[in-house]
Structure 1
């Protein structure tokens, strides 16, 4: 399976990804599933400019990701903007072993889990489903930081 690392981060490509995660991971490409909701405020060109030239960037409709990833010979960093962008991938049968929660910033009604992770009821419900599916879920902003447990906030 070519997925080396899967992460949810609402900022997508930014300093922590470029300076901390990419040097730690043996990846060739970042694949971002694009939800229909994101189409109005999504700038693929800006994301490409944020990424060092040696890494490829592929942005696909979420339902096209499974086939693309399963037929790829590249080592892939799957990077989603939200938990709801990950759900269609799992529903389509994409096998993801673990999911890193890196940045889900404040939104109305959300509970603070960590400085960069705020979960609303929908997020908690999705994380419970992910755990039921056997995903190992961790929250780390950068590779050498400590993971925060989700057990206290999940139903």
Structure 2
């Protein structure tokens, strides 16, 4: 399996992801796992245009991707991108191997609790993070590779 990097970023594919993370991990393919985006052709087209030349972009509903990878080997160096911790929990429960998770931007909005400068969570997202930690997923917050990694377990209460 060639999933080399998994990230939560509510902006999905954008400048930081495209330039720094793709280069750091020599990414050949980005797979966006989000049920809503997977069913929105306009959004899928925008994501493909946002990726650098030479990087394949695919979008799947989460549980469907869990079924796909049971019978189809990933051969490209792949980055998984999610929008929320709830989506990651659904993915892990569907058998998608996420052993380490990078958390980038989860923007603050009313009803969200700010846990770091760049990460704000709903109560359900907070609970999903706790469940992921309990399942053994190592979760760090880091916007770009040069930033210091923050262990999520230390800031989530």
Q: TM-score, with normalisation over the residues of structure 1?
A: 0.90
Query: What number of residue pairs does the alignment pair up?
Result: 155
Aligned pair partner of 2:107 in 105, 108, 111 = 105
Partner of 2:19: 19
Distance between the aligned counterparts of 1:4 and 1:50, measured in 2?
Answer: 20
More strand by share: 1
**Could you report, residue by residue, the CA deviation over 1:83-123 in whole angstroms, capped at 9, with x for unpaired residues?**
12222211112221100110100122222122221122111
Question: Cα 1:125–1:40, aligned 2, differ >3 Å: closer, same or farther?
Answer: same
Q: TM-score, normalised by structure 2?
A: 0.89
Map of 2:120 onto structure 1: 118
CA contact (8 A) 1:6 1:79 kept: yes
Farther off after superposition, 32-41 or 144-153? 32-41
Corresponding residue of 1:139: 141
CA contact (8 A) 1:12 1:81 kept: yes
What are the ranges of 5 or more consecutive residues in structure 1 without an aligned counterpart? none
Q: CA RMSD in A?
A: 2.0
Query: How far did 1:68 drift?
Result: 3.6
The partner residue of 2:74 within 72, 75, 95 is 72
CA distance in 1, matches of 2:31, 2:145: 19
* Change in 2 beyond 3 A, CA 1:24/1:16: same
Q: Is the 8 A contact 2:63 2:91 kept in 1?
A: yes
| Structure 1 contact 21–143 (Cα < 8 Å) conserved | yes
State the shift of 1:36 in Å: 4.0
Q: Which stretches in structure 2 are left out of the alignment for 5+ residues?
A: none
CA contact (8 A) 1:124 1:153 kept: no
